[in-house]
Amino acid sequence: MLTMKAQVLIRPKQGILDPQGLAVEEALPALGFSGVSNVHVGRLVELEVDDPAQLDAMCEKLLANPLIEDFEVVLSDSSGA
Amino acid sequence: MATRFGIVQFPGSCDETDTLLACSRVGDAELLWHKDTDLGGVDVVVLPGGFSYGDYLRVGAIVQFAPIMGAVAEHAAGGGLVLGICNGFQVLTEAGLLPGALLPNTNLRFTCQQADLIVENTETPFTHESAPGEIISVPAKHGAGRFYAPPELLAQIEDGGQVLLRYAEGHNFNGSVNDIAGVTNEGRNVFGLMPHPEHAVDPLTGSDDALKLFHSLASAAPMAVGSGDMT
């Protein structure tokens, strides 16, 4: 069966305080890395699906919480043979 | 007839026993199992604290699809009383039974402390035995208790009198918007809060301030539309 590989990138919505991103942003200069800003920490879900058309619904229902997170679906090569 | 409380035990629940004991002080209480598909006729359903399904993906995200959640949603839709404590609150927001979402605490720490809460709206089945503005001392312990709702929804919650509990000044340790500690739905029959009322029912553990909440529930349950006694 032909399946598609997909990556779902889930990010905290803009404007919502992201303490994780902030903590990383503050940690980097402490290690000597300067010039870093706008750090946000999200989630990556990798999956293989038979029907990529269902991905948006999967995101809305489970993978992301649309109230607090944005998601982006990235499809890559088919992995089936 | 005594009010019947059903406390749902999920894999990863950890406060079901204290909740059972707290409910037993004001009525009959029993545990329900997450794989059950009916509520056995209880009047009040309580989703206890803990880390259901390991908090995988997001807190409360996976549990909304547990077999029993269909019956919980049905109970709520019929006007039955539902209480969600801590993880139970997170679950109810994820399941769409309560507005808003719970985000990681701004301090990024799992924080355990006694919190002073102001009782706001007392015209609900959960708070009718309290006085408006009353301050109660209740323990809170969580890593993801920062209540959030986008501006429009927040205004709706505030205008609708859906905020039942607020952290008193200096007690909003998790960064919740408008100091919100507990909200109800529009129908005022589903209530979720991050602090743990079941740990504040006996002076032995420092406070019995939250016993009123359970008394409120016990006396309001027979009037609730979805009460098990009426079906």
Cβ partners under 8 Å of residue B164, min gap 6 = B119, B120, B121, B124, B126, B127, B182, B183, B184, B191, B193
How many residues in chain A? 81
pLDDT band at B227 (very low <50, low <70, confident <90, very high): low
> What pLDDT sits at residue B11?
95
Cβ of B104 and A16 within 8 Å? no
Q: Summarize the confidence of residues A15-33 as an average pLDDT.
A: 94
How far is the C-alpha of A60 from the C-alpha of A54, rounded, in Å? 10
Taking the mean position of all CA atoms in its chain, how far away is CA B198?
10
Q: In the predicted model, what is the mean pLDDT of residues B157-167?
A: 98
With cut-offs at 50, 70 and 90, classify the pLDDT of residue B224: confident
pLDDT band with cut points at 50, 70 and 90 for residue A76: confident
Q: Give the CATH number for residue A14.
A: 3.30.1280.10
The CA distance from B74 to A13, in Å, is 31
3-state secondary structure of B8: strand
Indicate if the pLDDT at residue B184 is higher than 70: yes
First CA to last CA across chain A, in angstroms? Answer: 7
Average pLDDT of chain A, as a whole number: 91
The helix/strand count (H/E) of chain B reads as 5, 11
Q: Look up the domain containing A50 and give its range.
A: 4-78
CA separation for the pair B119, B163 (Å, rounded)? 9
- Mutation target to probe the B interface, by most B beta carbons within 10 A, among A10, A14, A16 is A16
Structural domain B4-230, CATH architecture: 3-Layer(aba) Sandwich (3.40)
- Lowest-confidence region among A69-73, B77-81, B218-222: B218-222
- The Cα of B132 is separated from the nearest Cα of chain A by a number of Å equal to 31
- Smallest Cα distance from A69 to chain B, Å: 11
Question: Once rounded to an integer, what is the mean pLDDT over residues B71-99?
Answer: 97
pLDDT band of residue B230 (cuts 50, 70, 90) is very low
Nearest chain B CA: its distance from A45 CA (Å):
9
Tell me the per-residue pLDDT of B5-53, one tens digit each, with 9 for 90 and over: 999 999 999 999 999 999 999 999 999 999 999 999 999 999 999 999 8
Contacts of B10 by beta carbon, 8 Å cutoff, 6+ apart: B34, B47, B50, B52, B53, B63, B66
Residue B182, pLDDT > 90, answer: yes
- The per-residue pLDDT for B231 is 39
Looking at the complex, does the CB of residue B156 fall below 8 Å from at least one CB of chain A?
Answer: no
The 8 Å CB, 24+ separation contacts for B107-111 are B107/A19, B107/B173, B107/B174, B107/B175, B108/A19, B108/A20, B108/A23, B109/B143, B110/B141, B110/B142, B110/B143, B111/B140, B111/B141, B111/B142, B111/B143, B111/B173, B111/B174
Task: Choose from B53, B56, B57 for mutation: most chain A CBs within 10 A.
Answer: B57
pLDDT bracket for residue B155 (50, 70, 90): very high
Q: So where are chain B's domains?
A: 4-230
Query: Which distant-in-sequence residues (6+ apart) come within 8 Å of B149 by Cβ?
Result: A67, B99, B100, B101, B157, B177
Percent of chain A whose predicted confidence (pLDDT) is above 90: 88
Number of domains in chain A: 1
In the structure, what pLDDT confidence band is assigned to residue A78 with cuts at 50, 70 and 90?
low
